Amino acid sequence: MAISKKNTTRKTSSSSSSPSNLHPPYLQMISEAITTMKDLAGSSQPAIAKFIEANYSASLPTNFKKILSAQLKRFVKSGKLVKVKNLYKISPSEKVKKAANSVENKTEMKKSVKNVTAKTPVFQIQSGSFASSQSESPISASLELSSFSLNTNEENVGGASTKRSIGLKKAKLKRKNDEESQKFIETFNDENQQLLEILKSGCKVRQQFFEIKMLRTQNELKKLSLIEYREENKILLKDLNSISNPIVRDFLQNEQIRILQKRSQQ
């Protein structure tokens, strides 16, 4: 009997020292804390712990914060939570699952209500209103869960808008590069055209200079031929009988004969 009393005292002491484990699962409490705080960047571990202690302090163990830290790490590894710079967010896949479960719960509740109304008589329908008032709490809970799907839609819309803005920036940059390359090609063609005109004008100037030089040489030749013609005329007009030196006279006579032959051939 003494042993049984000791065992009973141990059981009562252990039950009194440790709180009753009546709190919801850790994932549910963490999700409730994150969604209630509504911080887009996420919620920190101290903020989550403060929220859970404020709502479930009576049923939490003494080492609650250590368990919470371990549970957060486990949920991040399993993909149910996302950690960004010491802040925790509910993963999009988990939000979609919860939203789908809420939709299924709604449909099941509607089916059950239809079955109950179909089976019960007319005089019992009024009593069913009490059940519907009592069933508002799970519906409100399902509505809270449906906010997850709205958050996922907002995230998807935000991602689509960022992708659209990046696409617009790329299109603007491509258009700017095309315009700059087109301007470069146009200026390059203009410069080539100007260079071609300069080369053409240079060729014309060179041709004109050559023609002027040819005219000058022709004029020089004409002048020389005119001088030669005059000298020949002087030789032809010489009186050979007036020359006493026989050598000079013979030379002039031969020159006169040559000049006359040349002019006769022309």
Question: Is 56 part of any domain?
Answer: yes
pLDDT digits (tens, 9 = 90+) for 136-165: 455 555 555 555 555 555 555 556 678 788
Question: Is 38 part of any domain?
Answer: yes
Q: What is the CATH number of the domain that holds 26?
A: 1.10.10.10
Give which of 143, 145, 144, 163 is closest to 155, Cα–Cα. 163
Token digits of residue 145: 């869960």
d(CA 205, CA 116): 111
Give which of 85, 89, 54 is closest to 72, Cα–Cα. 89
DSSP type of residue 43 = B
d(CA 7, CA 243): 178
Count Cβ neighbours within 10 Å for each residue of 84-113 and write b for 16 or more, e otherwise: eeeebbbbeebbeebbeebeeeeeeeeeee
> Which pLDDT score, from 0 to 100, does residue 162 have?
81
Domain count along the chain: 1
> Which pLDDT score, from 0 to 100, does residue 155 have?
54
> Which pLDDT score, from 0 to 100, does residue 240 have?
87
Say which amino acid occupies 83: K
What are the average pLDDT values for consecutive 10-residue runs of the chain, which has 266 residues?
44 44 84 88 91 88 90 91 88 68 62 55 46 48 52 58 84 90 90 89 88 91 91 89 91 92 88
Question: Is 236 part of any domain?
Answer: no
Question: Is 115 part of any domain?
Answer: no
Question: Is 27 part of any domain?
Answer: yes
> Which pLDDT score, from 0 to 100, does residue 114 have?
57
Question: Is 69 part of any domain?
Answer: yes
Question: Is 35 part of any domain?
Answer: yes
> Which pLDDT score, from 0 to 100, does residue 251 have?
93
Domain residues for the domain of 57 are 14-90
> Which pLDDT score, from 0 to 100, does residue 86 have?
83
